[in-house]
Structure 1
Amino acid sequence: MISASPDVRKITFHSEALGKDMKFNIYLPPGYNAKTKYPVLYVLHGYARNEDSWLPGMEADKTADRLVKEGRIEPLIIVSPAVDNSYGFNSSDQPAKRPCADCADEGRYGDYLTKDLIAYVDAHFSTAADRSRRFIGGISMGGWAALHNSFLHPELYSKAGGHSAALYMEEWFNTGGLRHWMYPIPEMRDWRDPLLLADTEKLEGLSVYLDCGEQDNYKFYEGSELLYRKLKARNIDVQYHPSSGGHDKNYWMPKMENYLLFYAGK
């Protein structure tokens, strides 16, 4: 019997990379059963948010249920993990910590996402454990993290989405703060910033979806457009969808159907 409401479960597991327990929400499609191997979409939240941001916050579960029942997307598993305020990359080899109340979280968050989380989900749920059916996307900070990790690990993901991704341009970075934390030496930017990874990494076979509100107060549309041009010039499968809207769920929620059609559309 198929439930009338989406099947979303809350999970806590131990991350070896971070040295602490982490939470994630997981959506299972209508009729989920262990005999079927499902594609998996990992979705990452923005700064100062948590694992509830996509599921149930932006109703990705309800939208997925509807699209599956309408036959418009393949039944899939959606995983919405907590990534703290980390930007989802390996910022430190030490156990995860937040140096101060207003600081970003430090630790091996990239390894947490690409090793610990994938391994746990594949071991405990009926997943199609291969890159062709594994996708990653995110909003704002999570969009940066999704692009960063998929560009560094195209062997893990076949599709990546940056939805209002926090792709900062030079004039913002010149104010200091976040730039000095993310890239304490200039060379680090070469192998952390998606805008630069787009020039160097082997991304053939990766499909990328970018979008941003044209009234985004952080002007992330500038970075999104630049990334689109860079990937297009390399003949990478990329699409960019700017449209009216700001940097909030009033922009993202109406786009959820388009996002899911990109990741799992038939």
Structure 2
Amino acid sequence: MLLPPDHAISNRRYAVLTLLHGLSDTFMCWLDYTNLRRYVSELRLIVVMPQCGRSFYINTVDGQRVEDFVADDLRTFIDSHYATLGTRASRAIGGISMGGYGALMLALRYRQVWAAAFSHSGAIGAPRWVEDPPNVGVFGPLGSAVRREHDLFQLIEYTDGPLPRIHMDCGIDDFLVDENRAFHRTLQNHNIPHIYREHPGGHSWRYCDENLPSSLDWACHQLEGNCDPELDDLTVIAPPAD
């Protein structure tokens, strides 16, 4: 986690951003491969970075309850132990690659939890991938209910609750750019407001770092509680050792 330095002594309550890592990454990649600390040092914002393996952030068919953990257990823990505003309007979620897919999927499935979601280089079509054996352990066989229930193209059809605000970007040379474009077109066809941008670059943390500031700025403008650009330091809270 990253906490504003006055979190322990201030009467202020904060908005919360959850950041999700990619398939071959850990939560530490946000700190090792981007300038996240510096970017959020100017924001009054609690940043949570869970470690979720190669789960695609769902309750997998092989028994991992990652979706429940992120959408319920982690959220409840953060709200009960830290000075959060604790409302939908004060929560955003974002991610890179697998985490970009996860951020959009969770925000669309749990519309009462997150007001805004952003994706860098998102693995938008992951539930539709058929030539990726590890995916079977996550989503089950092609055509499974789990795949349908976590398909972004299906989730936007749901009408229960307000849609989250959506921000997406992808590198022009990214191998995932076509599925990002397809989802952008689908959102357009459904008249769903969103931001979609393409920038030079491929599928890399360098690309993410170059475009992360604009996503953070966008997210803060969506949230109540305001992320005031006044603070210049953060406290890093490491997870407990096993």
TM-score (norm 1): 0.76
Quick check: 1:146 aligned with 2:122? Answer: no
Instruction: Determine if contact 2:108/2:163 at 8 Å carries over to the other structure.
Output: no
Structure 2: which 5+ runs fail to align?
Answer: 227-242
* 2:149 is the counterpart of 1:180: no
Counterparts of 1:262 and 1:192 in 2: how far apart (Å)? 25
Q: Please show how residues 34-45 of structure 1 align to structure 2 within 5 Å.
A: 34-45=10-21
Tell me the CA shift for residue 196 of structure 1.
Answer: 2.2
Which residue of structure 1 aligns with residue 22 of structure 2?
46
Deviation per CA, 1:119-145: give whole Å up to 9, x if none: 111111100101001010110011111
Letter of the 2:60 partner, please give it.
Answer: S
Q: Equivalent residue for 2:124?
A: 167
Partner of 1:17: none
Q: Which of residues 158, 180, 186 is equivalent to 1:230?
A: 186
Question: Percent of counterpart pairs with the same letter?
Answer: 27
> In the superposition, relative to structure 1, how do residues 54 and 149 fare at CA in structure 2: closer, same or farther (>3 Å)?
same
1:1-266 correspondence runs (5 A)? 26-32=1-7, 33-65=9-41, 67-68=42-43, 75-92=44-61, 94=63, 107-168=64-125, 173-181=129-137, 182-186=139-143, 187-202=145-160, 204-216=162-174, 219-265=175-221
Distance 1:254 1:87, change over 3 A: same
Greater RCO, 1 or 2 (C-alpha within 8 Å, sep 6+): 2
- Aligned-pair distance for 1:260? 0.6
Q: Distance in 2 between matches of 1:90 and 1:84?
A: 12
TM-score (normalised: structure 2): 0.83
| Runs of 4+ in structure 1 over 6 Å off | none
Q: CA deviation at 1:212?
A: 0.4
| Higher share in strand | 1
Q: Which AA in structure 1 matches 2:216?
A: L
Q: State the alpha-carbon separation in 2 of the partners of residues 198 and 221 from structure 1.
A: 20
The gaps in structure 1 that reach 5 residues or longer are 1-25, 69-74, 95-106
Distance in 2 of aligned mates of 1:203 and 1:225: 25
Structure 2 vs 1, CA of residues 203 and 209 (structure 1 numbering), >3 Å: closer, same or farther? farther
Q: Deviations over 1:213-251 (max 9, x none)?
A: 0111xx211111221222233332311011110111111
Count matched residues: 219
Displacement after TM superposition at 1:59 (Å): 2.0
| SS of equivalent residue, structure 1 residue 200 | coil
Aligned residue in 1 for 2:234 = none
Q: Could you say what the CA RMSD is over the residues aligned between the two structures, in angstroms?
A: 2.1
Cα-to-partner distance string for 1:183-236 (whole Å, 9 max, x where unaligned): 4251332211212212335463410011000111xx211111221222233332
CA distance in 1, matches of 2:190, 2:161: 9
SS at match of 2:49: strand
